[in-house]
Chains A and B, each alone.
Chain A
Amino acid sequence: MGMTLTEKILARHAGADRVVPGEIINAKVDLVLANELSAAVAIAAFRNLKGAEKVFDHSKIALVEDHFVPANNAQSAKLAQLMKEFAAEQQIENFFDVGRGGIEHVVLPEEGLVAPGELIVGGDSHTCTYGAFGAFATGMGSTDVAAAFALGEVWLKVPASIKMVYDGKPGPMVYAKDIMLKTVGTLGIDGATYRAIEYHGSTVDELSITGRITMANMAIEAGAKNGIFHADEKTIAYVKERTDRPFIVERADSDAQYERVIEIDVAALEPQIAFPHLPDNVHPISDVKEDVPVDQVFIGSCTNGYIEDLRIVAQILDGKRIASSLRVIVNPGSQKVYMQAADEGILKTLVAAGCAVNTPGCGACFGGHMGTLGDGERCISTTNRNYVGRMGSPKAEIYLASPATCAASAIAGKITDPRTLTLVTA
């Protein structure tokens, strides 16, 4: 009996010929990630470990400041200081201070720190993003991260895999975000808990790397341990441009066992939107029948803070003004995305349209900084979570959608189907 893609990568990292779902393994890690929040707790736990003075391999750790950047108060400044000191002490060269990196999950692939077949763990639940590159990647808490810092190994329960098959050409204004929202809505918020999602089908073969990133990123929104794509020529070209490190491209066996197979007809999809207050509360945009005015539009995050996303927004906002009743906050995902957006004139378009453009980082996604929502406010956002209080006040409402739907809503001042907009402007 064959193995799934996830099982193959786990087996190799456990030094085993094969692994089966439910089995507990000790696996070697290729990269351990932490941000200033998870690192602060992990560093304290690491210092408490008897016998741990040096990290297992200083070149296989990445530390990124992104949640509260630039620091919003002395407390978060302290977390950043702790991380910086630890990086210096342990000679961790992959340390990204504000102004040098951006959002961890945007930065790591850009810097060539992620490659197919690798096993990556991180102190952030969206570590699953790297499944876009054919890596096994999963999020953990800080104590587990400290253990990985020390040992270069983690214990893992081998997850069963759910095979998602996407076929059909997406219609106008339907993007990877819409496909993934539909997926989360179909699986449910805990529908993939303790499971791997393996993405298949002609639609995802055609997707750009960014589109795959958006989809792998939100695997956790269905509770999954990881979400994974097969690496293809596009992936290999992307990675080789950024690193000389050798890597192994694995494939699922043709007789691999899947717990479930779910097919999604992408051609039939319209733009999707998650209503408050759960990411699986997903509806086609045509379900929005009444006017839903919004106070804030947020463009950014590790789901949709990439140059492709900003291009879509700029295209829609080009030569227009955002509605006077709302504000639009944009956080490019990384310094590189920011620079590219500057080069392409995107920043100018956005600012001319009335958007506030922040420094790269998590920004409003996390509700701590740079665009926190007030009581009773409503936001439409390109991010991945809309739990109560996620972006600030527990009395605020968050809708999740694609950059196109968010941009269309920014112009209209209310939640808007981006397809209606193209009809008007075409």
Chain B
Amino acid sequence: MAAKTLSGRAHRYGKNVDTDVIIPGKYCSIVDPVELGKHALEGLDPEFSSNVKPGDLIVAETNFGCGSSREVAPIAIKGAGVSGVIAKSFARIFYRNALNIGLPIFESAQAVDDIASGDEIEVEPSSGTIRNKTRGKEYQAAAFPPFMQSLIDAGGLQAYVEQRLAQRAAGAKT
């Protein structure tokens, strides 16, 4: 994954931000990420898509992304221009989906506790360092488990699957 620094303002939410408020069912037949992004978080914060600026980050409490398996949830967030999500914890399927579609996510309870809406945030994806520039504080996000890190390093799930398919094709030939 490209290690470009993520930088933008924080949009702060509570716990259990579920996939139905991230992108309601009626929009789930939309395919275009930018179009989906126009409805991101509509159920929770109708102003979100008009307020969000490219690079901004979503900051939330525990269990972010609970509910359905809809991959359009992280896609809508990314499509709205959000560069990453910092939460105290993520729901299981959302966590997997975010990594698979390349939406950077970070777990840090401390950082979340200290961030208010509108704070200027910077994150180094490669090291997991989170900086709150408004408050002059720095935090370390939890490291990804080794297997997840190797998936990310390989370039995501797609690259990993392609490697395995290539190995199988080579195996079949010999």
CB-based contact A38/B71 at 8 Å: yes
Report the minimal beta-carbon distance from A273 to chain B, rounded to whole angstroms.
Answer: 19
CB-based contact B20/A388 at 8 Å: yes
CB-based contact B70/A225 at 8 Å: no
A405: Cβ under 8 A from any B Cβ? no
A304: Cβ under 8 A from any B Cβ? no
A235 to B30, CA, bound (A): 39
CB-based contact B92/A76 at 8 Å: no
- B1-9, B117-125, B126-134, B158-166 - the one binding chain A: B158-166
B136-174 toward A: CB 8 Å interface, digit per residue (1/0)? 000000000101000100000110111011100100000
Q: Which one, B63, B66, B157, contacts A147 given CB within 8 A?
A: B157
A422 to B86, CA, bound (A): 51
CB-based contact A51/B162 at 8 Å: yes
CB-based contact A68/B29 at 8 Å: yes
A45: Cβ under 8 A from any B Cβ? yes
A396 to B142, CA, bound (A): 37
Size class of the contact patch on chain A? 35 or more
A75 to B27, CA, bound (A): 10
- B52-60, B77-85, B95-103, B105-113 - the one binding chain A: B95-103
A124 to B71, CA, bound (A): 10
Report the minimal beta-carbon distance from A206 to chain B, rounded to whole angstroms.
Answer: 31
Chain A residue at smallest Cβ distance from B161: A147
CB-based contact B69/A123 at 8 Å: yes
Chain B residue at smallest Cβ distance from A155: B147
A140: Cβ under 8 A from any B Cβ? yes
Q: Which of A63-121 contact B (CB under 8 A)?
A: 67-68, 73, 75-76, 78-79
CB-based contact B158/A48 at 8 Å: yes
Contact of A49 with B165 at beta-carbon distance under 8 Å, contacts A41-B72, A189-B63, A368-B25 already known:
yes
**Which B residues are in CB contact (< 8 Å) with A48?**
158
Report the minimal beta-carbon distance from B99 to chain A, rounded to whole angstroms.
Answer: 9
Q: Which of A335-385 contact B (CB under 8 A)?
A: 366-369, 372, 385
Q: Interface size of B by Cβ–Cβ distance < 8 Å? A: 44
Q: Which of A214-255 contact B (CB under 8 A)?
A: 223, 225
A392 to B43, CA, bound (A): 10
CB-based contact B92/A225 at 8 Å: yes
B49: Cβ under 8 A from any A Cβ? no
A190 to B26, CA, bound (A): 25
CB-based contact A388/B21 at 8 Å: yes
A125: Cβ under 8 A from any B Cβ? yes
Report the minimal beta-carbon distance from B79 to chain A, rounded to whole angstroms.
Answer: 13
A141: Cβ under 8 A from any B Cβ? yes
A190 to B62, CA, bound (A): 9
CB-based contact B66/A190 at 8 Å: yes
A390: Cβ under 8 A from any B Cβ? yes
A276 to B118, CA, bound (A): 29
Q: Which one, A49, A144, A278, A389, contacts B24 given CB within 8 A?
A: A389
**Interface centre among B25, B44, B91, B157, by most A CB within 10 Å?**
B25
**Which B residues are in CB contact (< 8 Å) with A51?**
162, 165-166, 169
Chain A residue at smallest Cβ distance from B150: A24
Chain A residue at smallest Cβ distance from B162: A50
Contact of A223 with B63 at beta-carbon distance under 8 Å, contacts A37-B70, A140-B69 already known:
yes
Chain A residue at smallest Cβ distance from B16: A189
CB-based contact B63/A24 at 8 Å: no
**Which B residues are in CB contact (< 8 Å) with A190?**
16, 62-63, 66, 89, 91
A50 to B68, CA, bound (A): 28
Contact of A141 with B161 at beta-carbon distance under 8 Å, contacts A190-B62, A193-B91, A367-B26 already known:
no
Report the minimal beta-carbon distance from A45 to chain B, rounded to whole angstroms.
Answer: 7
A366 to B62, CA, bound (A): 24
Q: Which residues of A contact B (CB under 8 A)?
A: 24, 37-38, 40-41, 44-45, 48-52, 67-68, 73, 75-76, 78-79, 122-125, 127, 139-144, 146-147, 150-151, 153, 155, 157, 189-190, 193-194, 223, 225, 278, 366-369, 372, 385, 387-390, 392, 394
18 intermolecular pairs with C-beta atoms under 8 Å apart? A41-B31, A49-B158, A50-B165, A52-B165, A124-B69, A141-B100, A143-B157, A190-B63, A193-B92, A194-B92, A223-B63, A368-B25, A368-B26, A385-B20, A385-B68, A387-B19, A392-B26, A394-B43
> Can you add 18 more A-B contacts, CB < 8 Å, to A143-B157, A388-B21?
A37-B28, A51-B162, A51-B169, A67-B28, A124-B69, A143-B101, A144-B96, A144-B97, A147-B161, A150-B161, A151-B164, A190-B66, A372-B26, A385-B18, A385-B20, A389-B21, A389-B43, A390-B24
Q: Which residues of B contact A (CB under 8 A)?
A: 16, 18-21, 24-26, 28-31, 42-44, 62-63, 66-72, 89, 91-93, 96-97, 100-101, 145, 147, 151, 157-158, 160-162, 164-166, 169
